[in-house]
Amino acid sequence: MTRDLPTHHRATDPGGYVGSFGSVTWVHCPQCNKAARKGRGGVSCAHCGHRTIHSKMPRPDRWALPRKRHPVCEQCDQELPHRPAPTAHTVDGELRMTIICPHCDHKADYPAVRASSPQSRPPYEPLRRFLETQVAGETLWVNNLAHLDAIEQWIGAAVRERGDRPGLTMMARLPRWMKASTNREKVLRGLANLRERAQRAGIDE
Ligand SMILES: [Zn+2]
Ligand SMILES: [Zn+2]
């Protein structure tokens, strides 16, 4: 589906901060890497069923380390991270853990040894935002479709007006490069790409 770039209209700052646009952030699922929904209750993935609740530590008996000091991906042969993760399980009496290759996204089980669950640092790597792309050497990202719509309306507008709720709104905080008229077309194209990616990934909010 092609969509005309929305330009030449007049836009009023709707006010609000970034969290007021939509209630979810789409992230890469830590288990299957597809689009997963992150809301107040944690992450849930409709593709693989992965679910986390961020306020609770994952079960301590699930923590393991790769048995090899320098594990390599069975598909692309590149080095895998050697760090504890809460993905341990037993296959035929052997401890294994699931690792997603950071180079080729291949997901597989590897021999593992028990590791203690980390207490002081967050149990997960930060989740990667799903709707993110490079524009003019910068990272353009949105949390969800409502966020995308709002930025598209704003950046595409020929005339931008402050709303009746002034102050440091989400729009007022947008980085300078996004608001620069020289980058306007690029940013709008970047947003259109993100919209396509969202559609392909089944993102609907
Ligand atoms: Zn998943
Ligand atoms: Zn790999």
Q: How far is the CA of 34 from the centre of ligand 1 (A)?
A: 6
- The average pLDDT across 160-164 equals 83
Q: What is the pLDDT of residue 120?
A: 42
Query: Residue 39: is its pLDDT beyond 90?
Result: no
Query: Residue 171: is its pLDDT beyond 80?
Result: yes
Q: What is the pLDDT of residue 66?
A: 96
pTM of the prediction? Answer: 0.63
Segment among 41-50, 116-125, 178-187 with least mean pLDDT: 116-125
The C-alpha angle with vertex 80 and arms to 78 and 85, in degrees rounded to 5, equals: 165
Q: How far is the CA of 108 from the centre of ligand 2 (A)?
A: 9
Nearest bound ligand to CA 34?
A: 1
Nearest bound ligand to CA 108?
A: 2
Query: Residue 69: is its pLDDT beyond 60?
Result: yes
Q: How far is the CA of 128 from the centre of ligand 2 (A)?
A: 18
Residue with tokens 């969290």: 19
Residue 204 or 40, more confident = 204
Query: Residue 33: is its pLDDT beyond 50?
Result: yes
**Rounded Cα–Cα distance for residues 11 and 14 (Å):** 9
**Rounded Cα–Cα distance for residues 205 and 147 (Å):** 10
Q: What is the pLDDT of residue 53?
A: 59
